[in-house]
Structure 1
Amino acid sequence: MTSAGDLVVFRPKRFALPMWAVLLGLVLRWSGRAIWWCLRHPVATGSAVVALWLFVEFGWSGLVVPLVLASTASAVWRWRDESSWWTWLAGPLLGSFRRVFVYRRVWREAMTLCRLADTYDHRPVLPQLLRVRSDQALDVLTVRMVRGQTPEQFQAVSANLAYAFGRRHVRVYSERPGDPPTRTGHAAWLLRFVDRVRYRDRPTLVYLAVVRTDALRTVVPPFDVPAVPDFTALPLARREDLRPWSLHLLATHVLVGGATRSGKGSVLWSLVRVLGGGIESGLVRLWVIDPKGGMEFALGRPMFARFVCKSFEAMADLLDEAVTVLRERQTRLAGTVRVHTPTEADPLVVVVVDEMAALTAYLQDVELRKRIASSLGLLLSQGAGVGVLVVAALQDPRKDVLPFRDLFPTRIALGLTEASQVDMVLGDGARARGALADQMPRWAKGVGYVILDGTPDPMRVRFSYVSDDDIRAMARQYPAPAHAADILAQVGRETAPEPARPPLPRKPSGPLLPESLRNLLDRDTGGEGR
């Protein structure tokens, strides 16, 4: 019996399972998980099965002999082709090992403390580590984001992630870093189909490139000079994954921003070097402006078709002549092609300007500064399509120093002095995406950030170092032709005359004013207005 105020508790009836049913459920549960793991890791499962079979059939010799043979084959493979060895054997094996024993151990803690974990339905939800692929210098982690996350959230905590994994640098890419390889041979069609699946766009994934060993600490030697330069892929630098980074020079302008002693000369001389074969053959004309009195480029004077280093008036004249070449080519190529193709008869003209601010901001002569700015504006806005390109370097990328900064499609950021300058050079948000050009160490001469083609993600590279002896050897081996400075002689001689066009017939029209108003005006003016 209960009285008023008594608490009545209702408890559901508990159903007690027999012990054999509990054990059976646990066995089925763990068996299912084991089968699923084997299906997800066929290589590890197959290797374990083969090793077990060899041990049962042949004992310890069945394990030792295949291991020795495999090690020998691996050593020979690495000796013959180390790049493919890392791609197909060492990289996947090392990545699998580091995924289990390095990143898995700290994954939950790192995601939680870096504020990348969330809670849904009272349960913690973490980004999922799908794969780790390693090479000589990097671990590339493929991560599936939590629903509702964006790559910008990972980019904002890239420094936290680096130190959480015990490293100093982590790059975050919204698309898979690296371009699909070029396939040739009989099975190229199949491999291209596989690459189309591997490199397809996956908006739910983000890629973390963890710098395990900083490959950019060592000086990069100069690249080989091709006999005929490929203007769509000029090798200038080494990437963090030890692959070369190539510049697409055709139909673009290049801006190099960096503080004093940051290595801007490495960028410019690396470009001059890979163009050496084209300079010697006449396929490329270099017009060089060195406002520092020739301290940077005078060593390579024989390679330049035009060289100005002392007179600002002469520098303005050179830029005006480049505009003249631009106008002549526009008239000649209009209606024929949209992008100029360099030939020895119609070469690529590259105007190299060191310390651009000396021409656009620090020049005392106002009229001369306006004249230079006018010529540069025309070259940057109209010269890319007709093969008159500008490659400029400067220390201060502010708008009042370089008002036409946005007209440079290709930009390179070396060591800078302020965080805001990174976005000025590479574009808004570049520093938040990992381009820490304002935090360069002292040894990082020629180390900078570039933007990958087709993506907004920055990449860290180191440009090759071209010594003074290398420059002297280049000047002797790849001099410009004797007639290289005579390109202006083509202007006027090859320009097609403008065709005469008859005037279009016009229908006669009546007076614009009413007759009464015209008579009133004529009377007031006495007929003088006619």
Structure 2
Amino acid sequence: MTTAGDLMVIRPKRFELPVWAALLGLVLRWSWRAIWWCLRHPVATCTAAVAVTLYVEFDWWGLVVPLVLVAVGSALWRWRAELSWWNWFAGPLLGWFRRTFVYRRVWREAMTLCGLAETYDHRRVLPELLRVRSDQALDVLTVRMVRGQTPEQFQKASANLAYAFGRRHARVYSERPDEPPVRTGPAAWLLWAIDRVRFRDRPTIVYLVLVRTDALRTVVPPFPAQTVPDFTALPMARREDLRTWSLHLLATHVLIGGATRRGKGSVLWSLVRALSGGIASGLVRLWVIDPKGGMEFALGRPMFARFACKSFEAMADLLDEAVEVMRERQTRLAGTVRVHTPTEADPLVVVVIDEMAALTAYLQDVDLRKRIAGSLGLLLSQGAGVGVLVVAALQDPRKEVLPFRDLFPTRIALGLTEASQVDMVLGDGARNRGALADQMPRWAKGVGYVILDGTPEPVRVRFSYVTDDDIRAMAEQYPAPADAADILAQVSRETATEPARVPLPRRPSGPLLPKSLLNLIDPKKGEEQR
């Protein structure tokens, strides 16, 4: 019995789970996890199943003999086709090993200390490491970002991530860094369909590239000269993944920024060597300006159609003549084509300028400096489409030194002295995306950062080193034609006449100002209007 004021405690009936049911639930739970792991890792699952089967059937010989055969086959494969060996065997195997025993071991610590871990509902949420793909020099980590993160957060922490994993260089790509391969053969349609899935756009994924072995420490030898140069892919440098970096020169201007003794000559001479076959055949005309009195380019004088190295007046004349060629081609090609196609009769004109600041900032003659700046502005704004290109190198990329640096679509940053100069050369945010051109070591002459077509992320490359003997041999083997300097003769050729235009009727209009204001400004004119 209960009376008023007594405390009543009502408890629901307690349900006790039998021990056998709890054990069954645990077994089902761990069995499902094991099945799911096997489905996510089919290669490891099949390898383990085959190994167990061979051991049961043939004892230890069933494991030793296949391992020996695989090792011998791997050695032969690498000897015959090392690139495919890395792509299909060594790369995935090394990537799996480094993902398991190197990156996952310190992943939580690295993400937390680098500021990439987030907190949601009072618990720590980390970016997920999906895959590691390795090659001879690089580790490419595929990372799924936490919801709400952007690739810019990873790019700002790229230097921290590099040192967190024991490396010196790291870059972050918002899109897959490699391009889909070109498929040929009867199974090309199937491989093309697979590539569409592999290379699809994945906004939640970023790719962290860590340089495991710096392949750019060794000097890059000159690339073989091409008889007919491909202006959309001129081989000039070696990338960190040991592939060749090629310059797309057609319909663009190139700016090379770098401190003194950092390898600007390597870039310029690599370009000259890539164009040497076209120079000899008359497909390319090099107009070279060397304000240092010829100290850089005098060795290759036979390859140049025009060369100015001592007189600034002659340099200004050369730029003015380039503008004349540009104007003539504009008149002749207008309404016919949008991009000039180089031919021997109508060659590509490449104006190469070393130490451009000597013409735009340090020249004491103000009138001559304004004249040069006017010609350069016209060439940079209008010359790319008609095949009159400018390739310029300078040490100081500030606006006061080069006011029209934004007119260079293609930019190359070698070793620089200040962090702010990196963004001046490559564009805003380039340093945050991994272009640490201001931290180049002493040995890194000819090492720089470039921007690949279509992607904002910089790529680190090393340009080939062309020795003085190589330059002399090029000048002897690939001289410019005897009539290379008379390209200005095409300016006088007949062009299409301007069509006659009927003038439109125009109504006579009165004064633009009212009479009261005209009287205040000029009383005499006001009286005349009356």
TM-score (norm 1): 0.94
Question: How far 1:240 sits from its partner (Å)?
Answer: 0.9
The aligned counterpart of 1:441 is 441
Cα distance 1:510–1:477, how it changes in 2: closer, same or farther (>3 A)?
closer
Q: Which amino acid aligns with 1:498?
A: T
CA distance in 1, matches of 2:311, 2:265: 21
Quote the residue 2:179 is aligned against. Answer: 179
Q: In structure 2, what is the equivalent of residue 193 of structure 1?
A: 193
Structure 1 residues 335, 55: closer, same or farther in 2, change over 3 A? same
Question: CA 1:442–1:5 in 2, change beyond 3 Å: closer, same or farther?
Answer: farther
Following the alignment from structure 1 to structure 2, what is the Cα–Cα distance between the partners of residues 163 and 5? 70
Other-structure match for 2:219? 219
1:67: Cα distance to partner?
Answer: 1.8
Distance in 1 of aligned mates of 2:7 and 2:488:
105
Q: Report which stretch shifted further, 248-257 or 227-236.
A: 227-236
Please list the CA deviations of residues 78-110 of structure 1 after superposition, one character each: whole Å capped at 9, or x if unmatched: 111111111111111110111111111111111
Identical aligned residues as a percent: 82
TM-superposed deviation, 1:28:
1.3
User: Which residues in structure 2 correspond to 1:19-38 (within 5 Å)?
Assistant: 19-38=19-38
The AA in structure 2 aligned to 1:303 is: M
Q: Give me the whole-angstrom Cα distance separating, in 1, the residues matched to 2:145 and 2:94.
A: 24
Query: Is the partner of 2:65 in helix, strand or coil?
Result: helix
2-side partners of 1:6 and 1:457: how far apart? 76
Q: Secondary structure at the match of 1:491?
A: helix
Residues 126 and 502 from structure 1, CA distance in 2 versus in 1: closer, same or farther, beyond 3 angstroms? closer
Deviations 1:162-200 (A, max 9, x none): 121111111111111022222222222322222222112
CA contact (8 A) 2:355 2:395 kept: yes
Letter in 2 for 1:406: D
Counterpart of 1:379?
379
Q: Which runs of no fewer than 5 residues in structure 1 stay unpaired? A: none
Partner of 1:322, secondary structure, is helix
- Matches of 1:455 and 1:313 in 2, distance apart? 40
**Cα distance in 2 for residues equivalent to 1:389 and 1:196:** 36
For the residues of structure 2 that align with 1:475 and 1:252, how far apart are their CA atoms?
Answer: 26
Are 1:506 and 2:501 counterparts?
A: no
Equivalent residues, number: 521
1:352 counterpart residue number: 352
Distance 2:42 2:355 in 1: 58
Alignment of 1:384-423 (within 5 A): 384-423=384-423
Query: Contact 2:180–2:195 (CA<8 Å) still a contact in 1?
Result: yes
Q: Match of 1:291, as an amino acid?
A: P
Equivalent in the alignment of 1:262: 262
Please give the per-residue CA displacement for 1:329-375, whole angstroms capped at 9, x wherever unaligned: 00010000000001111110000000000000000000000000000
- Name the CA shift for 1:329/1:47 in 2 (closer, same or farther; >3 Å): same
Instruction: Provide the residue aligned with 1:451 in structure 2.
Output: 451
Note closer, same or farther for the CA distance 1:10–1:421 as it changes in structure 2 (3 Å cut).
Answer: farther
Q: Which 10-residue stretch deviates more, 49-58 or 188-197? A: 188-197
Q: Which amino acid aligns with 1:113?
A: L
Cα 1:477–1:511 change in 2 (3 A) is: closer
Task: Provide the rounded CA distance (Å) in 1 between the counterparts of 2:263 and 2:5.
Answer: 86
- How big is the shift at 1:392? 0.2
Give the corresponding residue for 2:53: 53
Name whichever of 194-203 and 405-414 sits farther off. Answer: 194-203
Alpha-carbon distance between aligned partners in 2 of 1:3 and 1:308, rounded to the nearest angstrom: 115
Secondary structure of 1:459's aligned partner: strand
SS in 1 for 2:492: coil
TM-superposition CA deviations, 1:422-453 (whole Å, max 9, x none): 00000001111111110111111011111121
Which residue matches 2:157?
157
1:139, 1:510 → 2: CA distance? 75
1:250-289 alignment to 2 at 5 Å?
Answer: 250-289=250-289
Match of 1:478 in 2: 478
Displacement after TM superposition at 1:123 (Å): 2.1
Partner of residue 302, structure 1: 302
Looking at structure 1, the residues matched to 404 and 65 of structure 2 have their Cα atoms a distance apart, in angstroms, of: 68
Cα distance in 2 for residues equivalent to 1:14 and 1:283: 92
Task: Please tell me the residue identity of whatever aligns with 1:80.
Answer: R
Taking the aligned partners of 1:63 and 1:413, their CA distance within structure 2 comes to 53
Q: Secondary structure at the match of 2:153?
A: helix
Q: Distance in 1 between matches of 2:508 and 2:106?
A: 87
**Cα deviation, residue 235, structure 1:** 1.1
Deviations 1:474-493 (A, max 9, x none): 11111111111111111112
Contact 2:332 2:496 in 1 (8 A): no
Shift of 1:505: 5.5
CA distance in 2, matches of 1:350, 1:190: 43
- 1:359-370 equivalences under 5 Å are 359-370=359-370
Cα pair distance change 1:254/1:6, threshold 3 Å = farther
Aligned to 2:127: 127
1:9–1:102: structure 2 CA closer, same or farther, 3 Å change rule?
A: farther
What is the deviation of 1:73?
A: 1.6
Partner AA of 2:82 in structure 1 = E
Matches of 1:158 and 1:354, distance apart in 2: 33
TM-superposed CA distance for 1:4, in Å, is 13
Cα contact 2:172–2:434 (8 A) shared by 1? yes
* Alignment CA distance shift 1:330-1:108 (3 Å): same
Letter in 1 for 2:194: V
Secondary structure in structure 2 of the residue aligned to 1:275:
helix
SS in 2 for 1:132: strand
* Secondary structure in 2 matching 1:217: coil
After TM superposition, give the deviation of residue 22 of structure 1 in Å: 2.3
Find out whether 1:326 has 2:331 as its counterpart: no
For 2:198, the aligned partner's letter is: R
Whole-Å separation in 1 of the counterparts to 2:11 and 2:333:
91
Pairs within 5 Å for 1:15-164: 15-164=15-164
TM-fit CA distance, 1:156: 1.3
1:209 and 2:209 aligned: yes
Q: Which amino acid aligns with 1:354?
A: D
Counterpart residue identity of residue 500, structure 2: R
Report the CA distance between 1:155 and its aligned residue. Answer: 1.1
Gap change, CA 1:327 and 1:11, over 3 Å in 2: farther
Rounded to whole Å, the distance in 2 between the matches of 1:286 and 1:299 is 14
| Structure 1 Cα separation of the partners of residues 372 and 411 of structure 2 | 21
| Code of the aligned partner of 2:18 | P
| Structure 1 range deviating more: 186-195 or 198-207 | 186-195
Determine the structure 1 residue equivalent to 2:342: 342
Aligned residue identity for 1:164: A
Corresponding residue number in structure 2 for 1:461: 461
Q: Deviations over 1:271-309 (max 9, x none)?
A: 110111111111111100000001101111111111111
In structure 2, stretches of 5+ residues that fail to align are: none
Structure 1 residues 322 and 25: CA distance shift in structure 2, 3 A? same
1:425 correspondence with 2:425 = yes
Give the Cα separation in 1 of the matches to 2:356 and 2:2: 95
Instruction: Determine the C-alpha separation between the residues in 2 that align with 1:229 and 1:265.
Output: 20
